[in-house]
Every structure is written in structure tokens, then in C-alpha cells.
Structure 1
Amino acid sequence: MTGASLQSAPYFHDVAEGPDGAASYWVRANDGTRLRMVHWPGAAKGTVLFFPGRTEYCEKYARLAGDMQAAGYGMAAFDWRGQGLADRPTHRADMGHVASFDEYRADVAAFVSALEGLGAPKPWFLIGHSMGGAIGLRALHDGLPVQAAAFSAPMWDIAMRPVIMALRGVLLPLTAALGMGRSFAATTGPYKAMAFEENPLTTDRAQFAYMARQLAQYPDLRLGGPSNMWVRAALQETAALMARPAPDMPTLTLIAGREKIVVNAVIETRMASWPKGRLITIDGAEHELLFEALTRRQAALDAILAHFDAHLRPEPATRSQA
């Protein structure tokens, strides 16, 4: 695959507010699912692979791409299957749905192949946010070719209401047995615009407005709640990941002091047994650490960039063929 063979995909420059030069492409997974990738070039130090969370899409991270570019890194972001402009579930396009997180592993393989074809400058680095933190951790175990990784509020377990948490081992198998795997999970439903005052994502009104403006202008980017099958698959995947030893990778993980989406205690336990890992808590922050108030966002960004800079090393030279 070469850059010339990749088909151009839509990219909403007007709401992205990112650096010039972004190129958007359709990418096919091995099962035929059409995905979307945005590449912001201009790297001197290498390329950051950004793994977004559930419901997210490439434009949301265009400002971060500008920060990375200013620091000497290019960046690529991805629309996982079922969200952004990637192919959606045929039974309900506004529902987050997979039968297994192995489907996201196929997405990662497709994106890596596309980036190789584009010649995205190496070395590569990983940032995984929320669900992207689970996909990213699995990718590290699978040998993702990065030199260092950073996680932002990674989804290594899902925060649930106490009664659902207590019964989830019973409820989720029951929903499957009753043919409800493709129904919205309990307490979730179709997309609904959220008021700033009730949001669990950020304490910063301007950053919240930026995200809301994108979804208001381009409704095709919206996504509602997950299916029961997605929740079951997510819990199976996170349990499997937490049962494995930490990968041999220099890793920085950031968590929010006011986290409500993922489970900080599980992240803390994981990082305590990560030989090359470091954990930082951003006090007062909500789940979206890279969309927080300026001082908190800058603290997270500075920590990530310092981590990547500390692990810059030349890619090994390719042996010439005789």
C-alpha cells in the first residue's frame, strides 16, 4: 500500500482547528470494514499514533496534532469501526457495537499497514485515551512498533453504578441469552446533547464548547451509548489485559483526580507492577485530560512530550540487499 493508493476521505477542517497539511484517508480492515485515518505530517522527531476513545473521531484531536507538530512530532489519528466516519453497525448506526475487541485489533493492523505505506516518519510513539488505552495496551502486547507509550485515563475497567457493578457478571450473560446483545446497555441510549453543567468530561467550558460545536455542525460524527455486547466484550478484554504482565515498554499513564468514566484504582494497580511505567495524577481534572483547563491540559501535554523526548532513539538502519 502506498500513499497514492489510499483513497481520500472527508475531513472537516472548519471545526478541527488543527495545523495545515492534514490528509484524510479511507483504510480497509481485513474483514472489509471501511475505517478513516487522518495524518498530520511535518515530523522532525517521529510520528505519534493517537488511539481515540469510544465515540471519538479524528477532528477532535486536531488541536493536539498542532501541539505535537510544534514539538517536532507528526501525528495520525483513527476512526475505529462504529464511530466517526468509519463504517457503523448495520442494525443501528448510532450505537457503539462490537462482538469482540479483536475487531479493534484488526483496525490497528490496517492502520499500521496504511502508515507504513505512507512512509509516516519513524520512530513512532503511542498515545491511547480511554477505550483507546485498552486497544493500545493490547497493541503493545501484539508488538506495535513504537518506542514509548502514553495513556490518558485508559479504560482498563469501566466505572459503573454500584448495583450494576455487583450484578454485571449475571446481567450481561442474561442479556445475551435473551437476545438483547444488540440493545443499548443499561443507563445508556441514543445520542443526546449534554449541558456543560452535567458533563463528566472536562471542567473547562471553552473546551467543552469546542467538542459540542463539532457534533452540532456534523451530526454524522455523533454516537450514542454502547450495546450490551460491546460492554461484555470490553469487560472481557480489560480483565484479560489486567491479568497479563506489563509489556516491556517505557510507559507514562495519566489519570484524572475527578475521574468518573474509568476506574482509577485498577489503573494504579496496573502501573504499580509496570517496571518501565510511571503514573501521574492530574488533580482536579475530569476524564478528558487533553481537553481540560489550560494549566491541567498543559501539565498533561508537557509530561507526555517529556516522556517521548526522553525515549527518542534512531530507528535501526535497514540492511541493504546484496
Structure 2
Amino acid sequence: MYLRNIEKYPDLADGRCSAITSWDGYKIRTATWPALVGTPKGTICLLQGRAEFIEKYYEVIQDLRKRGFSVATFDWRGQGASDRLLPDPLKGHVRHFSDYGKDLDQFLKEIALPDCPPPHFGLAHSMGALILLTRLPRLRAVLERTLLSTPLIEIAQQQRVLAGKDLSQSTIKNSAAFLRMIGRGRKFMLSVSRSPFDRLGFETNSLTSDGPRYDRNRQYMKDFPELAIAGPTAQWLHEACTAMEHLQSSEFQSTIHTPSLIVTAGNDSITNPNSAEYFAATTRAVHSVTIPGSRHEIMMERHILREQFWAAFDSFIPGENRPIRNTPD
């Protein structure tokens, strides 16, 4: 296990890359960096979205370290440089969505908690935020606060168009469940890209309005194709929809006590910001803020939009001499 392209980021050369073995035998790539101050403010546990990888977050890691935080992160199973789950390495697949949560628990137990200074905070994007939310009730004593960037609480309408039809998320879930039932759970869903390089060009992309950052992230996949995955399988989609559905119950929402901030993007066409804001409004420990004009990948956006994200981060994640509240107002 190693970090690609790290030689172009000399100020990240002190990072430590290693691997843990999951409970079911898969290698999970991890990486940690110390803070750039003598007395760190704590550790940020950085959790990526679907189809992402550690290298994509080099700039974000630099930003966090300059703020006085250590950083701990890892590639989810089935993507990045962690072990893939199917013979076709491009398929975005998972057997059970709870497998992600078990990997998170193990990462915290083996890497973040013993090796990185407290207090520990969660910073999660999209799918990573969904995984963290499903696990948050049992992490109350582990993470002081969490910041969730464009969490995958509901798929945006633009992504729910299959075969020219605007489908509800429940219809997509049922379709994926049917494919899974007839033995096609490991197949790509209809109308999804079979290749990570078939995605739209910058002019029509849904991820960021920053051209250089978009090109940088695409170049990673060209230079290191082993890090890339394509579209999700039917089984992944069914599992993800089931996890999103679970978040909607008031019983589950009442079990979240960790102070959390959801940051939504005003121009998000990957996840539904309205659903994320509603989740925040109905969950006592969760609040939300919107960055107008931003697309889905807020941390990869133009400078003026990233500044707003980091302002929200700085005001919510406590640093030195700032009180930490373990319960919401």
C-alpha cells in the first residue's frame, strides 16, 4: 500500500500509509498525517464519497493540517487502493451497506484512536456521510462532532432518470432489489457508465465549477487507473437506498446525539439538498447550512465557494480554547 503522486506534494511527505485487514479479509488502505503545529487541535477523520480515493483529497488534507489538525483517512472497500470485491475492478459493489460501517469502526479502533491525538471529529462527503450517519449512534463516545458535506440522504432527481423515465427512489430501490433477486445484483444498473472515463466533460459535469480541480481529479484516474471505479451495481444501489430509507425514521433520528452540521450545495444534482435540510430540521442534534452556487463536491469547488465551506468548518469544529459540547442545544 502506498500513496500515488505524493512526490508532487512535498509538504505531505510525512504521511504514513498502511493497511488494515477487515473482519472478512479485505485489505483496506489507510493514511495519517500529523498536524503542522506543536499542540494539535485534534484529529479529523476524513471519509470519502463513492468512487473516490485518498489522493483526491491531498489539497483538503493540506487545509486541515494548516488549521492545526491531524488527519486520518482510508479508502472504502471496493474502491481506491483498497481491495475490490468483484473480479471486474471497475464495478462499484458492496455485499451489505453495513460492511462499510464495520470498516469504519475498525479504522477508528486500529488507526485513528490509538495513533492520532484527541479529540476526534468526523468530516465526511456524500456516501461517506451516509455511512457515518448510519453509524453515528454507536460512535457517540468516539467522535465529538461531525461535519457532513452534501450527504447522500436522497438521490437527486437528475440522477433518478433511467431509460428516459423520471423514477422515484423507491422505484429504483425496488428495481435493484428485483435484479438482485434474479441473480443480477452484480451487474451494472441500466444507463450507467461502464467506464470511469466515459463521464461528461467539464462543461456539463455535475461535480464542480472549478475547471483546474476537475481536470486534476480526472488526471488521477488517467495516470492511476487502478484507483478508479465506474458505476454502481444493482446490489450496491439496493443497499444504499435501504440505508437512506433507514435514516428517515424518527426512531433512528432520535438516537443521534453527536452535534453535526450538514453543508449542502445549492446547485447539487447528485444528492438532494432539500432532503438533507429536512433531515437536519427533524433531527435534534443536526443543523444545516447551504452554500449557494456550489455543485456537489464543495471541497473541490472554486476558491470563493471553498472559503464559505471552510468558514462553516471553522465555526463548527472546535479548536484550541473553544468549548466542546457533547449534547446539542
TM-score, reference length from structure 2: 0.88
Per the TM alignment, residue 123 of structure 1 is displaced from its structure 2 partner at its CA by 0.2
Kindly indicate whether the alpha-carbon contact (under 8 Å) linking 2:78 and 2:92 is maintained by their aligned counterparts in 1: yes
Judged with a 3 Å threshold, the aligned counterparts in structure 2 of structure 1 residues 128 and 17 are, in CA distance, closer, same or farther, namely farther
1:151 maps to which of 148, 169, 182: 148
Provide the rounded CA distance (Å) in 1 between the counterparts of 2:111 and 2:315.
24
- Secondary structure of the 2:168 match is helix
Distance 1:293 1:222 in 2: 24
- For the 8 Å contact 1:18–1:65, the answer to whether it is kept is no
Ranges in structure 1 where 5+ consecutive residues have no aligned partner:
1-8, 316-322
Deviations 1:66-108 (A, max 9, x none): 1111111111111000000000023321111012111101211
> Kindly tell me: are residues 140 and 207 of structure 1, through their superposed partners in 2, closer, same or farther at Cα, counting changes over 3 Å?
same
Deviations 1:14-50 (A, max 9, x none): 4667633111111111111110111111261000001
Letter in 2 for 1:10: Y
- By how many angstroms is 1:127 displaced? 0.7
Please state whether the residue corresponding to 1:309 is helix, strand or coil: coil
Offset of residue 314 of structure 1: 7.8
Question: Would the aligned equivalents of 1:18 and 1:62 in 2 still touch at CA under 8 Å?
Answer: no
Query: Identity over aligned residues, as a percent?
Result: 26
Matched, 1:212 2:221: no
Give the C-alpha shift of residue 275 in structure 1: 2.2
Q: Is the 8 A contact 1:15 1:213 kept in 2?
A: no
Distance of 1:268 and 1:102 partners within structure 2: 24
Tell which deviates more after alignment, 157-166 or 254-263.
157-166
1:28–1:34: 8 Å Cα contact kept in structure 2? yes
| Letter of the 2:144 counterpart | Q
The structure-2 alpha-carbon separation of the partners of 1:155 and 1:16, relative to structure 1 and needing over 3 Å to count, comes to farther
Mapping of residues 85-104 of structure 1, within 5 Å:
85-104=81-100
Give the TM-score, by structure 1 length.
0.90
Distance 2:10 2:202 in 1: 21
Equivalent residue number for residue 281 of structure 1: 290
2:300·2:306 contact (CA, 8 Å) conserved in 1? yes
Q: Letter of the aligned partner of 1:245 in structure 2?
A: Q
Letter in 2 for 1:106: K
Instruction: Work out the number of aligned pairs and report it.
Output: 308
Q: Which digits, 9 at most, give the CA deviation of each residue in 1:146-165, with x for residues without a partner?
A: 11110000001222125332
Partners of 1:285 and 1:314 in 2: CA distance: 29
Q: Give the drift of 1:61.
A: 0.9
Q: Aligned-pair distance for 1:168?
A: 2.1
Q: Which position in structure 1 is the counterpart of 2:24?
A: 31
- Over aligned residue pairs, what C-alpha RMSD do you find? 2.1
Are 2:183 and 1:179 equivalent residues in the alignment?
Answer: yes
Residues 15 and 59, structure 1, Cα contact 8 Å, conserved in 2: no
Partner of 2:12: 19
Selected match of 2:245 from 239, 253, 256: 239
